[in-house]
A and B are shown apart, each in its own frame.
Chain A
């Protein structure tokens, strides 16, 4: 962990002050028997309520607003009540048994969800990738063979690698540069300009694609005025308009710009707070020794925030590696712009080819395992320092 302590808990809304222990004891001591009786009743009631509300939620004709309200009630009150009820029953067990059982009540539901939504599908996808398009026959590594030999998939893999090389690097360099410069300005200016750079984080990838439609729009000469900003500028200075999104291989770069636009704010904000954590004395000392601003930046700031840079970089890589929406909406993967994540959805959803789709997903996963290992190592190192 760290040179600087996280500044947490004490300040802002830490909620109401904790109750006095006597109160807690009273509530949980005297009423224990009554509570366990209530619990014994409440658990089946909630389960039955779950069942019926589930039927209602599945009902196509039911009122939408009602569904949302019901979902929130069930999702909070119901789930909460269930935890509470089971906890009260556990409390009736002999002490040792109760202590052994309770953690599993707390962790259990989360592990069940994770198992069903992430672990089981991951294993299942592995099997599907070894089967044919309808998942009926075992075909060995045929799907992988297809992917690594057919040019459309090779291009997809090449493009994905390019995305991963270009976008995180660009987002980092611009973000770091901006964070460093803006650190020298007044607070108000800093806060406002940072918000402006950060704002695209709130925009969906689909929305961002539409935003850039009006940047990249192209009309052949003689088919009306240019409504895309870039082509209007080109025509304005007397050049020919460019069909940005069909100009291979540069169209990939133009699509990457959209994601850089979205992700730079993220890296900028995080790097900016890291920069503010660099000890002032260190910088002052270097300045007194006659170091130029550039030297201070490269010899002190960057080494100090190195681990933050790595975290930001890996985080953006994961986002970029999974990019699907931008390509899907802007070009549909045409003109040599396909990427692995988008081809995966295309195979599985549009072409109904489970085998190749699953194989592409497996490739995505395998490619990301180094980051997975880095994260786990980092986590373990942090734990060791706790």
Chain B
């Protein structure tokens, strides 16, 4: 996970800050060319996959996706068969499973982290600094460190292969980053505001729910998107704690299984991969601004 907090506003699709004079738009030609070439190289793999996913199964096996672009208006070569087959073969079920995993795995840690972050930012208690340093340290502990012991406990209490097992694991693994991000953001809110609320008789719970939470919506959104994408795309945690039982597979597990079948399933792979990618890509493009803010900030502060 990242070690970056969320207090800045700079993002991919955002206007540059007003401090900057308007850009000179006449960059030299080689700059344009380089940017164009790099962008093309970055796009080609995804575009190829997308094109392939709409081709006839035998075409996918027998020729490269670029051959279809020779006559793009030859409609006979385009088909949705791959998608309908993929959805029939477990991917629609896996799609639901992934939702069932990702949404609670996002909601649960946010609630718990928000309370903790408030305490770290605005309450005084013994051990506060020490505990927060522990949180900072836990951000880099590799997931692998936790797998075996937790699976053993889960097996003892008969939790392996259930949704709560995955939710709680994702919540636990996501917490350090969440507490860190939220605490830094909440801590940067003006203290005069909180003090005046205290003087007027509001207690911590009221200040937290009425003042701090509404003001923290941007950082809550950033973390929510980050955690949602992370849990949606996760393979390892789902593989270990939810397992490969066909009924319970999430999308990544289902896709990895399909990829493992080799040539036999080659024609289904592009469509299947797109089914797993479509939602994160939509979320990503529509909420990019928040996502970037979650990533950027602290690192830019220098």
Given contacts A11-B9, A185-B32, A205-B235, contact A364 B145 (CB under 8 A): yes
Shortest beta-carbon distance from A211 to chain B in Å: 5
A4 to B297, CA, bound (A): 11
Report chain A residues within 8 Å CB of B235. 204-206, 324-325, 328
Whether B277 and A207, one on each chain, are in contact in the complex, defined by CB atoms closer than 8 angstroms, is yes
Chain B residue numbers with a CB within 8 Å of A9 are 188-190, 215
Return A133 CB to nearest CB of chain B, in Å.
11
Q: How far is the CB of A42 from chain B (nearest CB, A)?
A: 14
- A8 contacts chain B at the CB level, 8 A cutoff: yes
Q: How far is the CB of A204 from chain B (nearest CB, A)?
A: 3
The size of the chain A interface, using a CB distance under 8 A, is 151
Shortest C-beta distance, B282 to chain A (Å), equals 9
User: 7 tightest CB-CB pairs across the interface, nearest first?
Assistant: A117-B172, A21-B200, A15-B214, A273-B10, A204-B233, A106-B119, A103-B125
Instruction: Report if A84 contacts B (CB, 8 A).
Output: yes
CB atoms of A84 and B148 under 8 A apart: no
| B64-A273 in contact (CB<8A) | no
A68 touches B104 (CB 8 A): yes
Q: Which residues of A contact B206 (CB under 8 A)?
A: 24, 27-28
Please name all residues of chain B whose beta carbon is closer than 8 Å to the beta carbon of A198 when the two chains form the complex.
Answer: 12, 288, 292
B104 smallest CB distance to A (angstroms): 4
A319 → chain B closest CB, angstroms: 8
10 additional A-B residue pairs with CB within 8 Å, beyond A315-B3, A362-B145:
A22-B200, A64-B100, A68-B103, A119-B134, A121-B146, A204-B251, A204-B255, A224-B61, A305-B302, A345-B144
Decide: B99 and A7 in contact? CB cutoff 8 A: no
Kindly state the separation between the CA atoms of A106 and B212 in the bound complex, as whole angstroms.
14
Quick check: is B162 within 8 A (CB to CB) of the other chain? yes
Identity of the chain B residue whose Cβ is nearest the Cβ of A268 in the assembled complex:
B12
Q: Given A19-B210, A28-B201, A72-B104, A106–B300 Cβ distance below 8 Å?
A: no
Inter-chain contacts of A128 with B (CB < 8 A) = 148-149
Number of B interface residues in the complex (CB < 8 A): 157
A1-15 near B? 1/0 per residue, CB < 8 Å: 111101111011111
Write out the residue numbers on chain A whose beta carbons fall within 8 Å of the beta carbon of B217.
13-15
Judged by a CB distance under 8 angstroms, whether B120 is at the interface is: yes
CB atoms of A6 and B188 under 8 A apart: yes
* Contacts A13-B217, A67-B100, A107-B116; A118 near B23 (Cβ below 8 A): no
A163: interface (CB < 8 Å): no
| Bound: A226/B235 CA distance, A | 30
Query: Are the C-beta atoms of B31 and A181 separated by less than 8 Å?
Result: yes
Q: Check if A57 is an interface residue, CB within 8 A of chain B.
A: yes
Within 8 Å CB of B1, what residues of A? 318
Q: Does A162 contact B (CB under 8 A)?
A: no
Shortest C-beta distance, B260 to chain A (Å), equals 8
Contact (Cβ within 8 A) B175 A200: no
Pair B115/A109 contact, Cβ less than 8 Å: yes
| Contact status A197-B9, CB under 8 Å | no
Least distance between B284 CB and chain A CB atoms (Å): 4
**Complex A-B: 21 CB contacts under 8 Å:** A13-B218, A15-B213, A18-B210, A28-B206, A68-B104, A110-B115, A111-B116, A119-B138, A122-B141, A174-B38, A184-B24, A195-B288, A199-B46, A202-B280, A207-B277, A210-B259, A211-B46, A269-B296, A270-B4, A308-B300, A345-B144
Q: Which of B105-147 contact A (CB under 8 A)?
A: 107-108, 111-113, 115-116, 118-120, 123-125, 128-129, 131, 133-147
Partner pick for B148 among A80, A202, A357, CB 8 A cutoff: A357
The answer to whether B120 and A206 have CB atoms under 8 Å apart is no
| Cα distance A185–B215 in the bound complex, in angstroms | 35
8 A Cβ contacts from A240-297 to B: 261, 264, 266, 269-270, 272-274, 276-277, 280
Smallest beta-carbon distance B252→chain A, Å: 4
Q: Which residues of A contact B199 (CB under 8 A)?
A: 21
Q: Give per-residue flags for B278-291: 1 if the beta carbon is below 8 A from chain A beta carbons, else 0.
A: 00110111001000
Of the stretches A138-146, A147-155, A164-172, A371-379, the one at the interface is A371-379
Is B12 a contact partner of A79 (Cβ separation < 8 A)? no
Min distance, Cβ A78 to any Cβ of chain B, angstroms: 10
Q: How far is the CA of A280 from the CA of B45 in the complex (A)?
A: 37
Q: How far is the CA of A349 from the CA of B199 in the complex (A)?
A: 57
Chain A residues positioned under 8 Å from B292 (CB to CB):
198, 269
Task: Tell me how far the C-beta of A359 lies from the nearest C-beta in chain B, rounded to whole angstroms.
Answer: 11
**B169 within 8 A of partner (CB):** yes
**B21 at the A/B interface (Cβ < 8 Å)?**
yes
A369 to chain B, nearest CB (A): 8
Does chain B have a CB within 8 A of A71? yes
Would A210 and B49 be within 8 Å (CB), given that A75-B104, A269-B296 are in contact? yes
Q: Is A238 an interface position by the 8 A CB rule?
A: no
Enumerate chain B residues within 8 angstroms of A324, measured Cβ to Cβ. Answer: 144, 235-236
